[in-house]
Amino acid sequence: MVLSAPTGSGKSTQVPQILLDNGLAGDGQIVILQPRRLATRMLASRVASERNCRAGGEVGYQIRFENKCGPGTRIRFITEAILLRQLVEDRKLSGVSILIFDEFHERHVHGDIGLARALQLQRDHRPDLKIVVMSATLDTDRLVDYLKPATIVESKGRTYPVTTEYWKKSVGRDTTPVWEAAREAFESWKGSGGEGDVLVFMPGNFEIGRTIQAMQNSRAADDYLILPLHGELPPEQQDQAVSPQDRPRIVVSTNVAETSLTIDGIKLVIDSGLARIAHYDNHRGINTLHIHPVSQASADQRTGRAGRTSEGHCIRLWTERDHQHRPTHEKPEIHRIELSETLLTLKCTGVDDLRGFPWFESPIPASLDKALELLHDLGALNRKEEVTATGRRMQAFPTHPRYARLLLAADEFDCVYQAALIAALTQGRDILMPASDRGTRERRQDILGDSAASDFLIMMRAWKFAEKCGFQTQKCRSLGIHAATSRQVRPLFDQFMRIARDQGLKTDPRPIRDENLQRCLLIAFSDRLARRIDRGTLRCEMVHGRRGDLSRTSAVQDAPLIVAAEVEEIEGRDKQVQTILSSATAIEEDWLIQHFPEDYEERHEVRLDPETRRVTGMKTRYFRDLLLGASSGGDADPAAAATLLADQVIRGNVQIRKWDQSVETWIQRVNQLSGSCPDLEIPLIDEEARRAILTELCHGAMSLKEVREAEVRETVRQWLNPAQQAMVEKMAPERITLSNGRKVRVEYPDGQDPFIAARIQDLLGIKSVPEIFMGRKTLIIHILAPNFRPVQVTTDLASFWKDHYPARKKELQRKYPKHAWPDDPLTARPPDRQGGGKSVDK
Per-residue model confidence as pLDDT tens digits over 468-508: 999 998 999 999 898 988 998 998 899 899 989 989 999 99
What share of residues in the chain are helix, strand, coil (percent, to 5)?
Answer: 40, 20, 40
Give helix then strand counts, H and E, for the chain. Answer: 29, 31
* pLDDT value of residue 6: 77
pLDDT on residue 401? 93
| DSSP letter, residue 800 | I
| pLDDT reported for residue 841 | 37
Picking from 758, 747, 761, 752, the residue whose alpha carbon sits closest to that of residue 818 is 761
Q: What is the mean pLDDT of residues 71-76?
A: 94
pLDDT > 90? residue 310: no
Give the percent of the chain with pLDDT over 90: 54
**Of 296, 285, 398, 287, whose CA–CA distance to 334 is shortest?**
287
- pLDDT tens column, 340-389: 999 999 999 888 889 889 998 889 898 899 999 999 999 999 989 999 99
Q: Above 80 in pLDDT, residue 72?
A: yes
Helices of type H across 558-604: 589-595
> Among 344, 508, 491, 345, which Cα is nearest to 411's?
508
- Residue 834 pLDDT greater than 70, yes or no: no
Give the three-class secondary structure for 274: strand
The interaxial angle of helices 401-412 and 416-425, nearest 10 deg, is 160
Per-residue buried b or exposed e for 593-619, using 16+ beta carbons within 10 Å of the residue's own CB: eebbeebbeeeebbbbeeeeebbbbbe
**Side chain identity at 812, as an amino acid letter?**
L
Please report which helix (H) or strand (E) contains residue 539, including its range.
strand 539-542
Average of per-residue pLDDT across 63-84 = 89
Q: What is the pLDDT of residues 18-27, one digit of tens each?
A: 999 999 999 9
End-to-end CA distance of the chain: 83
Burial of 817 per CB tally in 10 Å (0-12, 13-18, 19+): exposed
Give the pLDDT confidence score for residue 535 in this predicted structure. Answer: 79
Span 740-761, mean pLDDT?
Answer: 91
Q: Across the chain, which distance is largest between two alpha carbons, in Å?
A: 121
